[in-house]
Amino acid sequence: MYSLEDTHRVPDLIHVFNTLSRSKEEFMPLDGKNVRVYVCGPTVYDYPHIGNARSFVVFDTIRRYLEYSGYRVHFITNFTDVDDKMIARAHDEGIAVAELAAKFIAEYQRIAKELNLKPANANPRATEHIDDMVDMIKRIVDNGTGYVVDGNVYFDVSAFAAYGSLSKMPVDQMTAEARIEPDENKQDPRDFALWKAEKPGEPSWDSPWGKGRPGWHAECSAMSRHYLGVPFDIHGGGQDLIFPHHENEIAQTASAYSIKTPVKYWLHNGFLTINKEKMSKSLGNFFTAREVLDHYNHQAVRLFLISAQYRQPLDYSPEVLNQATQSLERLRNALDVLEGRLSLIEKGGTKPAQADSKLAEAVKKIRDGFEREMNDDFNTPGALAEVFALVKSVNTYASKVGKASAIREARSALLELMSVLGIDLETKTTREASASDELLGQVVDLLLQIREEARKSKNYALSDRIRNGLAEVGITVSDTKDGPTWKAE
Ligand code: AMP
Ligand code: ZN
């Protein structure tokens, strides 16, 4: 990890694909080394599917790489805890919207942990920021870009010349998309609701226009401004959010705060597909993140989710998940090879050999290659190919290396680069750890039974050998009146 003061190694400039310009641009944050990021989080009305999880992992990986490159990242991702979908689902289940939200926020947090997402600097909930939304909408009404009809407030798209600059959709296409949800109060079908008047049985808050609730787009504009100010550096989400969600966010924020470009870089992840079709709740072609994580190793799932560049589609199948599981094994084996070799060298059991410089050179080349790939719009498959080149070098050279330093460098490169991708090769998942604890328990119990048998037959040399051997690997045996017990360090 490079610290901010570490000037001897400034990686080349990062280039990011900006949806706003449809091109790769040099990444130059607005405020030096500080980067402010807002990513649209889940609508907490149901179990997220593994496609939603792709979006979470993509932006976590981008954040990790920015931090590795020396930036201080302020990362905000929200929970949409009130909107049409939330209200409909809570109604179907006969529970309060807040209860539904609490259940699925807890589920998100569990998934976030299993996928090794770094905690955000804040996870605001829309319902905690109604005041910010009302304040923003008031500004829009006051400056004439919004209008009120029967307690509803709409954004007047015709008053915002740049409308369409993100999605680049022709007006008739935007109109056709907007007509999917008709509303006779609107002056233009493209206008959208900033505030929705209260309907019976729905959660509502006070506002200058009467009781009601915010429109979905208003939520993200107000929360991003609250935590990051405007303008900020990166706004992320899936490609399905470009229109209308992000188009509308730009219109609202620009208009409320008199700012031309509220966000410098718009980044959108491609879809996780199944049989090449977008995975989605409405099509019913989805697997929940929960079922996938319960079935496969958590780190293998993450490895799969970063196996395509983030803007490209990624197709889900059991075969690719099995491949990811094998790839993870190869990475862990390389780590075992390095650790085995290191302990042999440290015990003085090997003679210096000729491959030290070869391994050191490979490590340097691979680090450079990894950074080159990640600097190119976070090309994770390219970066992973570099790490697998390291695995190959380890398997070729490690047994011929004599210097501990060469092994240590390879080991720290392997661990560090994978951890930039969010995969900690040293950490076992909870399930693996409990399985190996169980196995350890069985083996120690077996050894203690053999020791008892040895003692009974007065073979003290063997019983002492078992006890001392266990002590050497950190397992202390105590003899009690109920028989032997043991404790691992
Ligand atoms: P939602 O909870 O529906 O608002 O979605 C949370 C995030 O997942 C958003 O950024 C969506 O754009 C993203 N998303 C939804 N479906 C997919 C998919 N099939 N592949 C990748 N990202 C998706
Ligand atoms: Zn959003």
Give per-residue pLDDT as tens, 206-227. 999 999 999 999 999 999 999 9
- Is the shortest distance between the CB of 54 and ligand 1 below 6 Å? yes
Give per-residue pLDDT as tens, 271-319. 999 999 999 999 999 999 999 999 999 999 999 999 999 999 999 999 9
Give per-residue pLDDT as tens, 138-181. 999 999 999 999 999 999 999 999 999 999 999 999 999 888 77
Q: Which two tokens stand for residue 104?
A: 């699925």
Work out which ligand 1 atom sits closest to the CA atom of 48: 2
User: Is residue 58 within 8 Å of 119, Cβ to Cβ?
Assistant: no
Cα(69) to ligand 2 centroid in Å equals 27
Residue nearest to atom 9 of ligand 1 (CA): 238
**pTM for the whole structure:** 0.88
Work out which ligand 1 atom sits closest to the CA atom of 279: 19
Tell me the CATH number for domain 327-420.
1.20.120
CA torsion through residues 161, 166, 170, 176, sign: negative
Probe residue for ligand 1, chosen from 46, 49, 52 as the CB with the greatest number of ligand atoms within 8 Å:
52
Give per-residue pLDDT as tens, 427-446. 775 556 666 677 788 788 88
Residue nearest to atom 20 of ligand 1 (CA): 271
Question: Distance (Å, rounded) from C-alpha 127 to C-alpha 219?
Answer: 9
Strand order in the sheet with 72-77: 72-77, 34-39, 232-238, 263-269
- Is the shortest distance between the CB of 58 and ligand 1 below 6 Å? no
Q: Which contiguous run of DSSP H or E holds residue 400?
A: none
Question: Distance (Å, rounded) from C-alpha 25 to C-alpha 294?
Answer: 39
- Is the shortest distance between the CB of 43 and ligand 1 below 6 Å? yes
| Amino acid identity, position 447 | L
Give alpha helix (H) positions in 197-269.
216-228, 247-256
What pLDDT does 436 receive? 67
| Region at 94 (left for phi over 0; alpha for psi -120 to 50; beta for the rest) | left
Helix axes 247-256, 130-142, angle to 10 degrees: 70
Question: Distance (Å, rounded) from C-alpha 194 to C-alpha 196?
Answer: 7
Partnered with residue 166 across adjacent β-strands are none
Query: Is residue 5's pLDDT more than 50?
Result: no
- Is the shortest distance between the CB of 127 and ligand 1 below 6 Å? no
Q: Which ligand is the nearest neighbour of the Cα of 263?
A: 2
Work out which ligand 1 atom sits closest to the CA atom of 43: 2
Which CATH architecture fits 15-145+157-181+213-315? 3-Layer(aba) Sandwich (3.40)
User: Is residue 390 within 8 Å of 362, Cβ to Cβ?
Assistant: yes
- Is the shortest distance between the CB of 221 and ligand 1 below 6 Å? no
Give per-residue pLDDT as tens, 415-431. 999 999 999 999 775 55
- Is the shortest distance between the CB of 84 and ligand 1 below 6 Å? no
Pairing verdict, β 212-214 and 232-238:
unpaired
Mean pLDDT of the chain, nearest integer? 93
User: Is residue 76 within 8 Å of 37, Cβ to Cβ?
Assistant: yes
What pLDDT does 352 receive? 65
- CB atoms < 10 A from the CB of 488, how many? 12
Cα(374) to ligand 1 centroid in Å equals 23
Give per-residue pLDDT as tens, 250-270. 999 999 999 999 999 999 999
Give per-residue pLDDT as tens, 367-398. 999 999 999 999 999 999 999 999 999 999 99
